[in-house]
Chains A and B, each alone.
Chain A
């Protein structure tokens, strides 16, 4: 299923999209398949797989460490696509840094995505000014180049981004790096509102610092179509490195808690009531 189809299916059901991120190859490539399956059982709607890069400037400590573990365990783009191809039944996106795409070759990278049913590419260090070559390759292979917008993005720039956006818009909730935060950034609601005025039918998915069911609820209530959770999943992996059963169990349960928060949009995001157990 394509990303776009997934978003419209969820819209009909009046649900938000839960996008779960994990770094592929952490702790091993084989584990990634089981990890993804656990998250799918828990209810994530879209899987975003991180292809680790040695110098991830947009990432906070949790995802950095996950990437380092994965690289040490031998993850590389060849193994990545092999692994991704084995994860079925869910729309997938890849997050990686531009140099990894560049060295594989833009065309080959996109062809590999298409072959393994990866429908979207998120490249945090590729701004619109530099994205044309990759956009052409994506078009050729019918995969989406997912663009990002941040709280610092001014309106005129936002309009340019929206003109080129495809799949969904990745809304960076905070001027900062990835990582779980206790509270949702105060910047996020005005940002969603500002984008919504201009974004038409393009779904918005909010990421960076989304780590609790109430965060998910808040961003959906503010008008976003999806929430992206990464570091909070990675943290469970990190804390359960010695115990895979516990890890898979923890991931599945956490995904379920988060998913529950996407199915009750009518409750609204301004209530701060606790729903279920939150991540420690």
Chain B
């Protein structure tokens, strides 16, 4: 039976989601929702987006059978959804192309974005460059140092990176600053949010632009295996690649969905980014969701070796699906993710992004306990080239 479409007309996924935004932004959020509903239904828009996704981004991406890894583990067959092959090196472009196109249709001249590691910033810069939009990206000063290569990449594509020096100087503060910019420049600016988070309609818009991952994967696995997978695994920071692949399988009750969060140094150390596993209900960045906070409601600083998972909240639909028992939240530590990074590189010749390595690590843990005729799909959301310095440092190698 098909479940009720979510979000509801108030932008809620059960109790989660909603629109906790300053009054100044509310009319813009209402307009954005209307514009999305209008354009995304139009053939012209869908054709144009399909063109960009095919000719520019390189879709569809392969669903690759990781034979060596599967045989080494001796359990379930592991398939990799190769979002690392999307132009720019990650799934992020699916949504930035969609949103930039939407911004253009809405007559906006400028897009702004927040970025942690810089992946969403780079994907926004790419989309803005190809569509002729002015692009400015907020990034915590800590991150501009840790990820200076991405800062340079953005600059090369004519995007301006604005360092954010407030609070913890990381992704959550960059997000605050992007909201402040949007509040002040609502007329000509489109705020291009990077994940299935923020106030309604953003979690819905980003999911809708990312759901192509799961639609492709479902078709591909049916072609290759003639059946649905037993499990789908994706890393969860804000949750855009996870919702992107889960969406197509949400109603297939026999497909287990693993939302793999950043365990950092271990959940019990308090240094992690696992809002689904260890967070509590609250409001951050315009949404009611699971967040990491203290007993007074102050937001905690998250931690992960992978900057893309280093966020103290998570998209509201994932909080809902986890609450319903549909998504199983798990966590993988830095160390396990690094091991998975090495293992996949050696066995398959594929270097995963450290974010995606969390999902790979979960597959490495789970596959041996499954039967050989069972199937796992791992969303390989990004490639690891951006992480080689971090990995080298963690391994004590000097480059």
Residues of A within 8 A of B (CB): 53-58, 60-61, 64-65, 68, 71, 76-77, 97-104, 124-127, 129-130, 147-154, 157, 161, 172, 175-177
- Tell me, in angstroms, the Cα distance from A53 to B285 when the chains sit together: 12
A161 contacts across to B, CB distance below 8 A? 23
Q: How far is the CB of B248 from chain A (nearest CB, A)?
A: 30
Q: How far is the CB of B183 from chain A (nearest CB, A)?
A: 6
Knowing A57-B22, A157-B27, the reply to whether A125 touches B282 (Cβ < 8 A) is no
Knowing A129-B19, A153-B27, the reply to whether A99 touches B284 (Cβ < 8 A) is yes
A-B complex: 4 closest residue pairs judged by Cβ atoms? A103-B297, A176-B184, A150-B24, A99-B297
- Among residues 178 to 229 in chain B, which have CB atoms less than 8 Å away from a CB atom of chain A? 179-180, 183-184, 186
Q: How far is the CB of B265 from chain A (nearest CB, A)?
A: 21
B21 contacts across to A, CB distance below 8 A? 125, 127
A177 touching B184 by the CB < 8 A rule?
Answer: yes
B183 touching A154 by the CB < 8 A rule?
Answer: no
Residues of B within 8 A of A (CB): 10, 18-28, 166-167, 172-173, 176, 179-180, 183-184, 186, 282-286, 291, 293, 295-299
B20 contacts across to A, CB distance below 8 A? 98, 125-127, 130
- Residue among A55, A99, A126, A148 having the largest count of chain B Cβ atoms under 10 Å: A55
- Tell me, in angstroms, the Cα distance from A147 to B283 when the chains sit together: 18
- Tell me, in angstroms, the Cα distance from A250 to B299 when the chains sit together: 33
- Residue among A54, A56, A68 having the largest count of chain B Cβ atoms under 10 Å: A54
CB-nearest residue of chain A to B300: A54
- Tell me, in angstroms, the Cα distance from A187 to B22 when the chains sit together: 17
15 new A-B contacts at CB < 8 Å, known A127-B19, A152-B28, A175-B24:
A54-B299, A56-B176, A61-B166, A65-B166, A71-B298, A99-B293, A99-B297, A103-B295, A103-B297, A125-B21, A125-B22, A152-B25, A157-B27, A177-B180, A177-B183
- Tell me, in angstroms, the Cα distance from A24 to B388 when the chains sit together: 45
A176 touching B23 by the CB < 8 A rule?
Answer: no
- Residue among B21, B22, B184, B284 having the largest count of chain A Cβ atoms under 10 Å: B22
- Residue among B166, B293, B296 having the largest count of chain A Cβ atoms under 10 Å: B296
Q: How far is the CB of B202 from chain A (nearest CB, A)?
A: 14
- Tell me, in angstroms, the Cα distance from A100 to B295 when the chains sit together: 9
A153 touching B23 by the CB < 8 A rule?
Answer: yes
B298 contacts across to A, CB distance below 8 A? 53-54, 71, 100
B184 contacts across to A, CB distance below 8 A? 175-177
A101 contacts across to B, CB distance below 8 A? 297
Knowing A60-B180, A64-B166, A152-B28, the reply to whether A102 touches B297 (Cβ < 8 A) is yes
A129 contacts across to B, CB distance below 8 A? 10, 18-19, 26
B183 touching A53 by the CB < 8 A rule?
Answer: no
A153 touching B26 by the CB < 8 A rule?
Answer: yes
- Tell me, in angstroms, the Cα distance from A147 to B23 when the chains sit together: 9
- Tell me, in angstroms, the Cα distance from A129 to B179 when the chains sit together: 19
- Tell me, in angstroms, the Cα distance from A126 to B22 when the chains sit together: 7
Q: How far is the CB of A145 from chain B (nearest CB, A)?
A: 13
- Tell me, in angstroms, the Cα distance from A150 to B28 when the chains sit together: 12
Cβ contacts A to B, 14 pairs, < 8 Å: A53-B297, A56-B176, A60-B180, A100-B297, A101-B297, A104-B296, A124-B22, A129-B18, A129-B19, A130-B18, A130-B19, A152-B24, A172-B24, A177-B180
- Residue among A64, A65, A157, A177 having the largest count of chain B Cβ atoms under 10 Å: A177
CB-nearest residue of chain B to A148: B23
B23 touching A55 by the CB < 8 A rule?
Answer: no
A130 contacts across to B, CB distance below 8 A? 18-20
Checking B179, B291, B295, B297 against A57 with a beta-carbon cut-off of 8 angstroms, the contacting residue is B179
- Tell me, in angstroms, the Cα distance from A117 to B60 when the chains sit together: 62
Checking A77, A147, A153 against B296 with a beta-carbon cut-off of 8 angstroms, the contacting residue is A77
Checking A58, A68, A97, A103 against B167 with a beta-carbon cut-off of 8 angstroms, the contacting residue is A68
CB-nearest residue of chain A to B173: A55
A55 touching B186 by the CB < 8 A rule?
Answer: no
B26 contacts across to A, CB distance below 8 A? 127, 129, 152-153, 157
B296 touching A175 by the CB < 8 A rule?
Answer: no
